[in-house]
């Protein structure tokens, strides 16, 4: 650990940082105190940023990542591959158009080289005192794209929505499962008249929500991403503005030709192709009753 972080650990219970070993790789590290002393959890960060095709995400993700404005949210539980998906989208933009990309991370995970874009990567607590301060500064630094590691609080969400409203393309993450819960999570952070204002801002500035989970493959050799995708078309915009987020699932179901897909749809397709087992699909399903048709396959195994 750098000396500056050692002294910071003395006054806290845990902290995050990234660590690189030349010839070995890069790691995201969480150091924490426990009854046995000090421990660390390390997560491997690939040196090469995977492509959206490598991740098996549909073409609609690439199409909407290429749009030069709007808010794109990648959601899911811890360890579901959100950072990897975000990095792949940023790399796609970096390779296909010119502009200025600013990433605000805690800590910096994937390191992006300059391709078609200038990339400014800022680490919270090193290059800025807080995420809110970094976001406030970023809009004055001539960005075309801002990546926010995580939208944690009211101020960060407000600033991200405001930036997206001005025509900046904004990427962020939330620890939610599914498009409907993501909308509700954002709105429930606010109260009273402010919630109405945020609902209108979200309806206007949202581009896409990718809500994903990592599942074990049938052979147990690796994990694959299963992603629910909501694209903010006219129907979704109307529902969000009216506060009827529970109706967004019907928009996803009817929006397949636009590249939308539900968890149920993806899980059934993965089982049909033999990518995952029926048991794995059922374990991770948001709506388990929707997978009743897979019961014979589970009984057979």
* Confidence band, pLDDT 50/70/90 cuts, at residue 133: very high
Q: Which two tokens stand for residue 127?
A: 């290059």
3-state secondary structure of 132: helix
Query: Is there a contact between 191 and 185 (Cβ–Cβ < 8 Å)?
Result: no
- Structure confidence at residue 24 (pLDDT): 83
pTM of the model: 0.92
Considering the domain 3-45 in this protein, what is its CATH number? 3.30.450.90
Sign of CA dihedral 149, 137, 161, 95: negative
Of 3.40.50.300, 3.60.70.12, 3.40.47.10, 2.60.120.380, which CATH number belongs to 59-261?
3.40.50.300
3-state secondary structure of 79: coil
Cβ-based burial of 171 (10 A; exposed 0-12, middle 13-18, buried ≥19): buried
Element housing 197 (H / E): helix 193-205
* Confidence band, pLDDT 50/70/90 cuts, at residue 156: very high
* Confidence band, pLDDT 50/70/90 cuts, at residue 4: confident
Sign of CA dihedral 115, 43, 64, 214: positive
- Structure confidence at residue 22 (pLDDT): 84
Element housing 249 (H / E): helix 248-254
Name which residue leads in pLDDT, 285 or 39: 39
Q: In what order do the strands lie in the sheet with 99-105?
A: 117-123, 99-105, 145-148, 169-174, 70-75, 206-216, 223-231
- Condensed to tens digits (0 to 9), the pLDDT of residues 21-75 reads 888 889 999 999 999 999 999 999 988 899 999 999 999 999 999 999 999 999 9
Element housing 185 (H / E): helix 179-188
Average pLDDT over residues 149-169: 92
Where residue 272 falls (left for φ over 0; alpha for ψ -120 to 50; beta otherwise) is alpha
- Condensed to tens digits (0 to 9), the pLDDT of residues 194-243 reads 999 999 999 999 999 999 999 999 999 999 999 999 999 999 999 999 99
Residue 265 in this model has a pLDDT that exceeds 60 = yes
Residues 6+ away with beta carbon under 8 Å from 247: 239
Residue 297 in this model has a pLDDT that exceeds 80 = no
Domain assignments of the chain as residue spans, ordered by start: 3-45, 59-261, 270-300
């Amino acid at each position: 650990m750098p000396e500056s972080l050692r002294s910071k650990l003395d006054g806290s219970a845990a902290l995050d940082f990234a660590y690189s070993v030349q010839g070995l790789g890069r790691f995201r590290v969480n150091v924490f105190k426990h009854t046995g002393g000090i421990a660390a959890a390390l997560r491997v960060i690939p040196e090469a940023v995977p492509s959206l095709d490598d991740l098996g995400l549909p073409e609609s993700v690439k199409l909407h990542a290429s749009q030069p404005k709007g808010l794109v949210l990648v959601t899911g539980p811890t360890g579901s591959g959100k950072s990897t998906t975000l990095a792949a989208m940023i790399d796609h933009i970096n390779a296909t158009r010119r502009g200025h990309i600013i990433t605000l991370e805690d800590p910096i995970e994937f390191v992006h080289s300059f391709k078609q874009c200038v990339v400014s990567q800022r680490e919270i607590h090193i290059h800025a005192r807080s995420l809110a301060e970094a976001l406030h500064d970023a809009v004055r630094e001539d960005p075309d794209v801002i990546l926010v590691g995580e939208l944690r609080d009211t101020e960060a969400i407000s600033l991200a929505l405001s930036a997206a409203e001005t025509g900046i393309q904004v990427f962020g993450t939330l620890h939610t499962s599914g498009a409907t819960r993501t909308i509700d999570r954002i709105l429930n952070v606010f109260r009273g008249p402010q919630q109405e204002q945020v609902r209108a801002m979200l309806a206007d500035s949202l581009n896409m929500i990718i809500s994903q989970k990592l599942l074990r493959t049938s052979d147990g050799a690796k994990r694959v991403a299963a992603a629910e995708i909501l694209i903010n078309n006219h129907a979704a915009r109307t529902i969000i503005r009216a506060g009827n987020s529970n109706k967004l699932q019907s928009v996803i179901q009817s929006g397949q030709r636009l590249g939308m897909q539900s968890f149920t749809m993806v899980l059934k397709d993965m089982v049909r192709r033999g990518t995952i087992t029926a048991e794995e699909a059922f374990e991770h399903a948001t709506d388990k009753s929707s997978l009743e048709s897979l019961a014979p396959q589970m009984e057979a195994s």
